Chains A and B, each alone.
Chain A
């Protein structure tokens, strides 16, 4: 086995662990924090518990809720300025991937200065960010686990990937109770993201037994729980199962990186402001087909796993299995149905090939390949 590094934050998993946040902030020896979230999350009833926990430990908090669904570069700057003006010492992110990615970017700016665009790429961050605690509310982008942060470049309209060990949070509080109220569409979108994460981590040319361990576990849990939760949003076992899946997938891809699915999702999502999870779902089938020849062994293992947990006709390849699986959950929308202009679609091919995620795709990608896949999903 070649040299590998393994990174993960401190993780606390379980119902009600969000109430530990005050104690943890105190453990850091900090008395003033910036709380980044969004309007939807902060209006949930369980959000109160977090604020109460902070108040009980006399921790002053400054709130910033102005984060978009796909966080913009200027939003990060605005919040970073507030952080410095208020002299905060820690960032607490409560929300989905957008909130947590924005929080990471704020951390980068606060200690490194400059423009967030300067930090695009892999290993470009010099100084560590301030202490970062993440409470995930979706299952999920796993931003609370991973070394990735995705920020939209608002001039060129694509999603910048920032990848660095510096972006791994200090603490991830995974509290299934925070996911109970996630609406149906979002539940499915984020669930598909988990599937994509796990699949790409397995297919990655930087994968290893350490990451595969988690990736396969993630796929298993998705197969077990995604359909159940989409049928009954109140199924607490399924909710917990999906959160576990998200965590495992996050651990896996944080250390093995991703592939073509995410490279394309970043390019398209930034350009057309599409929903990441849904886009992944749309791409996964075609990309698996494309990569198959270069990831045969790994994909066969996944196929075996799928047949253990899904009731399906025999002899299907992974891409077919996934199509079958996703269809059983909801009907996909093609790009044309999401309002994407075909002409503009082709402009984003360049960005796909520049995304860091492409470097660990099992198969070499050229622009023609991207074009073909675009046609198929449009």
Chain B
């Protein structure tokens, strides 16, 4: 139980009369103002935090977008790879299937031959017809086996190689000019014009045979798919911003926007059956894997096509 001594009772009495310390205090205004300032300060700090968080969010979104891009690229490549494998197996299946059929037919022919030889009354005519059939079948068999071999060879030709060699110094103009001459000797270019714009006596360090092959395929592509009537192929080479740029443009039929994304895919052929569909895929592989560069294409239907190859020095 609270017991109050006289002093305490007096103190209580004074407080009741309004003399209490807190009652007399007027400095609460100062305290309230200080509290307010503190709150404002906290507010400012919070605002700064929010700014930081927002910036972090933006950075995160950026990274996310990049990652998504990479995933997309990977997926594309995987898809291309699976399509490649599918195409190969399809290409090989047919000739192998025919080969199997041919072999079984050959077996039947051999059986017939045996029967004939056992029969003492065989004639030259009987033998000749079987012989003819056997030769025909062998031809078919051979053709198809070689076809399969070719498919695998072509395939080998386009997948990852060990790099040919080390880069070497060479005169660009000479290599490109030589490639063009080779091309002109293989294709009928009487109705067409081929231009080369390239600085003379420019020596660069790169892979001359790879560069030549790239140009060769690009020109083939332009010739086979693009040009009609009086065709014009322009080849340009220049040095820019620590990169070498090779441009191959034609004034031909152009490429429709719907097939443009697929032209570098393996076995994708604009003219079904007539080409392997591997030319541009080869170019893509060479440019990226051997030359460590990139290739881009711009095209419009009836207004020609331009391929731009960019490789670092």
Q: Which of B1-53 contact A (CB under 8 A)?
A: 1-2, 4, 9, 12-13, 15-23, 28, 31-32
Decide if A4 is an interface residue (CB 8 Å cutoff): yes
Size bin of chain B's contact surface: 10 to 19
Query: Which listed residue, B16, B23, B32, touches A206 by the CB 8 Å rule?
Result: B16
- Contact at B9–A359, with CB atoms within 8 Å? yes
B103-115: CB near A (< 8 Å → 1, else 0) gives 0000000000000
Contact of A164 among B17, B22, B32 (CB under 8 A): B22
**Which chain A residues (276-296) contact chain B, with CB distance < 8 Å?**
none
Interchain CB contact (< 8 A) of B21 among A4, A6, A123, A163: A123
A122 to B4, CA, bound (A): 14
Please tell me if the beta carbons of A257 and B16 are within 8 angstroms of each other in the complex: yes
Task: List chain A residues, Cβ under 8 A from B28.
Answer: 126-128
Q: Could you say which of A128, A255, A354, A356 contacts B18, with CB atoms under 8 Å apart?
A: A255
Q: A165 to B26: give the CA distance in the assembly, Å.
A: 11
B143 smallest CB distance to A (angstroms): 90
Contacts of A125 in B (CB 8 A): 22
Q: Is the CB of A41 closer than 8 A to any CB of chain B?
A: no
B12 with A127: CB separation less than 8 A: no
Q: A353-B1, A354-B1, A354-B2 are in contact. Are A164 and B20 (CB under 8 A)?
A: yes
**Residue A7 at the chain B interface, CB threshold 8 Å:** yes
A77 → B minimal CB distance (Å): 21
For the complex, what is the distance from the CA of A354 to the CA of B3, rounded to whole Å?
8
**Nearest Cβ on chain A to B190's Cβ, whole angstroms:** 90
Q: Is A327 an interface residue (CB 8 A)?
A: no
Asked whether B16 lies within 8 Å of A5 as measured between CB atoms, the reply is no
Contact A356 B32 (CB under 8 A): no
Residues of A within 8 A of B9 (CB): 359
**Which positions 344-377 of chain A face chain B at CB distance < 8 Å?**
350, 353-354, 356, 359-360
Known: A126-B28, A128-B28, A354-B2. A3 touches B22 (CB 8 A): no
Q: B149-180 vs A: 1/0 string, CB under 8 Å?
A: 00000000000000000000000000000000
| Distance to closest chain B CB from A142 (angstroms) | 16
Contact with A124, one of B1, B4, B22, B32 (Cβ below 8 angstroms)? B22
Separation of A205 and B10 alpha carbons in the complex (Å)? 11
Q: Assess whether A166 is interfacial by the CB under 8 Å rule.
A: yes
The proximity string for A residues 216-232 relative to B, scoring 1 for CB distances below 8 Å and 0 otherwise, is 00000000000000000
The reply to whether A127 and B17 contact each other, CB–CB distance below 8 Å, is: no
Using CB atoms, name the residue of chain B closest to A359.
B12
Q: Name A258's closest neighbour in chain B (CB-CB).
A: B16
Instruction: Output the nearest chain B residue to A123 by Cβ-Cβ distance.
Output: B20
Give the nearest-CB partner of A364 in chain B: B9
Contact between A123 and B1, CB atoms less than 8 A apart? no
What is the bound-complex CA distance between A146 and B15, given in angstroms? Answer: 14
Q: State in angstroms the CA–CA spacing of A124 and B15 once bound together.
A: 10
Judge whether A7 and B16 touch: CB under 8 Å. no
Q: Which residues of A contact B22 (CB under 8 A)?
A: 123-126, 164-166
Q: How far is the CA of A165 from the CA of B24 in the complex (A)?
A: 9
**Which B residue's beta carbon lies closest to that of A255?**
B18
Cβ-defined partner of A165 (8 Å) among B2, B12, B23, B32: B23
Closest Cβ of chain A: how far from B1's Cβ, in Å? Answer: 6
Bound complex: CA A82 to CA B176 (Å): 85
Residue of A nearest to B25 (CB): A126
CA distance A6 to B28 in the complex (A): 20
Q: Is the CB of B12 within 8 A of A356?
A: yes
Chain B positions within 8 Å of A6 at CB level: 18
Separation in Å of the A59 CB from the closest CB of chain B? 23
**Contact in complex: A5, B19 (CB < 8 Å):** yes
Q: Evaluate contact between B13 and A123: CB separation under 8 angstroms.
A: no
Complex Cα distance, B18 from A124, in Å, reads 12
- 12 further A-B contacts with Cβ under 8 Å, apart from A165-B22, A166-B22, A256-B17, are A4-B17, A122-B20, A124-B22, A127-B28, A164-B22, A164-B23, A206-B17, A257-B17, A350-B1, A359-B4, A360-B13, A360-B16
Sample of 16 A–B contacts (CB below 8 Å):
A3-B19, A5-B17, A5-B23, A122-B12, A123-B21, A125-B22, A126-B22, A166-B22, A206-B13, A206-B17, A255-B17, A256-B17, A350-B1, A353-B1, A359-B12, A359-B16
Q: 5 smallest A-B Cβ distances: which pairs?
A: A123-B20, A5-B18, A257-B16, A165-B23, A122-B15
